[in-house]
Chain A
Amino acid sequence: MTAVVYTLAAIVGLIVGAVGVSGMLGVGLAWRCPALLPLGGLSLVLDPLAGFFLALVGFASVPASLDGLGRARSERRGRLAYLLFVAAMALVPLAANALTFLLAWELMSLASYVLVVQGGRARESIRAAWVYAVMTHAGLACLLAGMLLLGAWTGSFDVGAWRAAASALAPSARDLAWTLLALGFAVKAGVIPLHVWLPLAHPAAPSHVSALMSGVMIKLGVYGLVRVSLDWLGEGPAWWGAAILLAGAVSAVVGVLSAIVDRDLKRVLAFSSIENAGIILIGLGAGVLYQAAGLPALAVLGVTAALYHALNHAAFKTLLFLGAGAVVHATGTRDMDALGGLIKRMPWTAACFLTGAAAIAALPPLNGFVSEWLTLQALLQNLLIEQPAVNLVFALGIAALALTGGLTVACFVRAFGITFLAVPRQEAAARAHDPATPSRLAMTILALSCLALGVGATAVVPAIARVGSHLLGTPTALPLGDALTLKVSGEFASLSMPAVAAALALAGLGVLAGLAAAGGRGRVRLYETWSCGRMLQTPRMEYSATAFANPFKRVFDFFYRPVEHIDIAAHPGSRLFVQRIEYANPTRSLFDDWLYRPLLHTVHRGARVVQRLQSGSANLYLAYILLALLALLVFA
């Protein structure tokens, strides 16, 4: 039964993906059914942007479903919720009126809530699901408010009507609608500081679900931001773009900084999703700013970079989560300080995870590099906008993007190196083995697609650029070079991934050939690692995940504000002989301490005040009803 469900999900994914690609290529579809739902009914429209996100949903759910298939025997719960989740995610890009959108959105959130609650560890999953539910419904409330206001102001809940009436709205009204809708979408996209649910929910869910949540669901938040900033509300003012860019820059830096110090493998990946959502938003913000400044070609470039990074992130984050899932399943732990040596016990998973790690670290010739490069090119041309304030925003974006690029390399050296290399740190890791064939197939497909999306960028980017052009209404597609080279803005920058890949391969072969020719003795002797001749060499002497993050903890200590806990247990006979030392150096979350705790404190205090109204006396309640009735009669 489980196998049937997951196979069905995979097939649905393929069909959805195919429909999406056809939508990107210009096949437009519309389907209206007013009788099904009130307030305008069910309305689905396929345009290029919807097609792109549909393709993303479809193609990412295929490997995730395959992985679920591979795990079918051990995880039986959440099958229906999974199917519902994929279906709801496919509906969201197609929705063309408020109610359809909100229904699909809420269905997606509820399905994922159920999946999170059913994750492995009971207490952790319940808390994670609770925080997730609260945050996503707060976002839904903002979306609801925004859409209802728009409906009231324009007289219709249909997206087309909003588009037409947008220019007639007062600027303050448009700004208010945008703010509400953007906040709602930002919660789903995991933008700082609305991200608190992400590092709790993504690790708690089963890995194939986490893969979809990180790889796809976050992108639907981005989809909403794209729609609301460039489509439904017409052409917006520059501050929208600046807000998106700055929010993206902050998310990117905070995301990767939080990822570097975390010990939980899946939480590292969750924070890294926040970081990549930030990078996508940097590109999107640049696009919106250029559109507001009247530079349509650069606007298309910004949007293209954002969409391309969304696609690439879906590819490599899904891969990384599937790999992490295989590791967690094989060893039973997510703690990196208990893992190690898995490359010899799970070679297939290790190779795929390495590809994903190299892709997310933006190493050429993989796909992560091309999309980050494109985003940078969009940012570097900002001098064509001659406003110092805007230039400053762009400069901050550039600095943030550069910093996250470097920090991501560090983060994934740590994630891959500590988990897979050297010697197992605890028993559980020593007994690991590769997962079943469907999971391995899923990871291989994704690894190959990372390489293909990188080397074949010249095939993919123009298609995405056409989506961007259609969205922004620019007449012609962006000229982007020829079959092998991406050329940005004429002579500004050029990139040829196939040439770089070929150069690397040839150079590697040349080096190997040179080594063989130089000959020499070529004998290899195996011996222990050099440890200064020390007699005792245990896995405890390896570098740990906590230790690897130490330089970053010290450099960025104003952000982490670490606290040191040292607990020394002395020998009962004399305190000069130490039996055990426990050292912990946890970091404190800035957002928990400065934002959420005071907020929750205020809410609780307010609730306690209001609680006095609940006296339990029926007479008092009847008096309340009388007062309310009087008020309505007077003021109605």
Chain B
Amino acid sequence: MIADILIAVVQLALVGLGAPLLTGIVRTLKARLVGRRGPSPWQPYADLRKLLGKDRVVSTTTSWIFAVTPVVLAATMLASALIVPLVISRPVLGFAGNVIVLMYLFLIGTFFLALAGLDAGSAFGGMGGSREVAVAALAEPTIIVAVFALAMRAGTINLGGVVERLGANPQMALTPGHLLAFAAFFIVMIAETGRLPVDNPATHLELTMIHEAMVLEYSGPDLALVDWAASMKLFLFMALLANLFFPWGVPTEPGLAALARGGIVLAGKLLALATILAVIETQIAKLRLFRVPELLAGSFALALLSVTSRFLLR
């Protein structure tokens, strides 16, 4: 019981407090790769703190949906933090859900954010919402088929079960089917978290925005919550990629030393993934919006190949 509460607190702290750092690291790496000194990795914390102290300016056309959305976004991410195996294979609410639950928890956020965009009554919000749900809808098949590929190999779709079974057979992680599923899920991660080449998080041109267009109306603490939730989503997706596909070093038993080890291993994996993401974002140009479905169809093909390779290589 105490151990459960401790693990829950650790995971919540890791996600809630560590997510801005991950976003900051990606930003700094991207800057260094293009020859700039760039902001410090701790910059997002300064941004969030400043935003918490600002006033809100709320549009007169909006309703309670607009006001509620930032809280919903942050709440769904925090709830997901209790389900994802971060420092231990079976966290407190690990029994309560699996990858599918996780993906649909993220969809709650997308649903409300798209509604908040429409609520403002401007063309920007509607456009952002329309594009965001289109990308999310086209990424769904890939996610589920990738989950199927994982379930085939691990015999279960419970996150804890997958981590433990793949952790017990490390060589399974290097089979072509597994790597194909990883590639497919990586592309989905880029699409769902709104990174290049699908969406540029730093763009100022509204016609190129997907995620940013929906948050143009948010200010002050609301904006802080929205940005925090977005960085938590990136953290959770990367943690899933790290611990689900390469579950080496994830402890299965609670204990202070084990948790510390899990934390350090996770940090290392996240750093590696952050570097890969930064390289991809600086080297590949943003895709035209109507080329994004082609990218997502490509990721679906990868996931499908991963499933069929299991049959061919039996």
Contacts and interface: CB of A to CB of B under 8 A. Distances in A.
B119 to A, nearest CB: 4
B100 interface: yes
B279 interface: no
A130 interface: no
A456 to B, nearest CB: 15
A416 B115 CA distance: 8
A543 B127 contact: yes
Given A380-B148, A380-B157, A494-B96, A421 B136 contact: no
B141 interface: yes
Contacts of B60: 526-529
Main secondary structure of the interface of A (DSSP, over half): helix
Contacts of B151: 380, 492
Contact of A511 (B64, B71, B138): B71
Given A383-B152, A417-B129, A422-B119, A499 B93 contact: yes
Contact of A491 (B125, B140, B156): B156
A362 B100 CA distance: 11
Contact of B122 (A373, A409, A504, A541): A541
Contact of A547 (B58, B126, B289, B307): B126
B56 A500 contact: no
Contacts of A98: none
A412 B108 CA distance: 12
B55 A548 contact: no
A524 interface: yes
A423 B119 CA distance: 8
A592 interface: no
A486 to B, nearest CB: 10
Contacts of A528: 59-61
Interface residues of B, number: 83
A399 interface: yes
Nearest to A422: B121
A460 to B, nearest CB: 18
B217 to A, nearest CB: 6
Nearest to A529: B59
Contacts of B137: 403, 406-407, 409-410, 552
Contacts of A376: 100, 144
B145 A495 contact: no
A312 to B, nearest CB: 15
Contacts of B108: 358, 363-364
Interface string B37-57: 000000000000000111111
A210 interface: no
Interface stretch (A227-235, A512-520, A598-606): A512-520
Nearest to A509: B75
Contacts of B95: 485, 494, 496, 499
Interface string B212-243: 00001100110001000000000000000000
A581 B120 CA distance: 27
Interface string A377-397: 100100100001001000100
B114 A413 contact: yes
A17 to B, nearest CB: 30
Given A421-B119, A507-B75, A363 B220 contact: no
B131 interface: yes
A615 B253 CA distance: 91
Contacts of B57: 524-527
A341 B52 CA distance: 30
A363 B100 CA distance: 11
Contacts of B124: 530
B56 A525 contact: yes
B272 interface: no
B110 A409 contact: yes
Given A399-B145, A409-B133, A511-B78, A495 B97 contact: yes
Contacts of A37: none
B98 A494 contact: yes
Nearest to A494: B95
Contact of A520 (B52, B63, B82, B130): B52
A551 B145 contact: no
A518 B52 contact: yes
Contact of A542 (B59, B122, B130): B122
A493 B122 contact: no
Contacts of A492: 151, 155-158
Given A492-B156, A503-B82, A552-B134, A508 B71 contact: yes
A413 B129 contact: yes
B130 A547 contact: yes
A531 B290 contact: no
A421 B74 contact: no
A542 B123 CA distance: 5
A416 B97 CA distance: 28
B111 A361 contact: yes
Contact of A499 (B96, B125, B300): B96
A514 B111 CA distance: 24
A418 B119 CA distance: 9
B311 A391 contact: yes
B79 A507 contact: yes
28 contacts: A343-B63, A354-B65, A406-B139, A409-B110, A417-B119, A421-B119, A422-B118, A492-B155, A493-B158, A494-B158, A496-B96, A499-B93, A500-B105, A515-B225, A524-B56, A524-B57, A526-B58, A527-B59, A529-B62, A530-B217, A541-B121, A542-B123, A542-B126, A543-B118, A551-B130, A551-B290, A552-B134, A555-B293
Question: What 9 pairs across the A-B complex have the smallest Cβ distances?
Answer: A543-B126, A406-B137, A406-B140, A422-B121, A402-B144, A417-B118, A410-B133, A499-B96, A496-B96
Given A406-B133, A491-B158, 10 more contacts: A363-B107, A399-B304, A409-B107, A494-B98, A495-B96, A499-B97, A522-B56, A522-B221, A528-B59, A529-B122
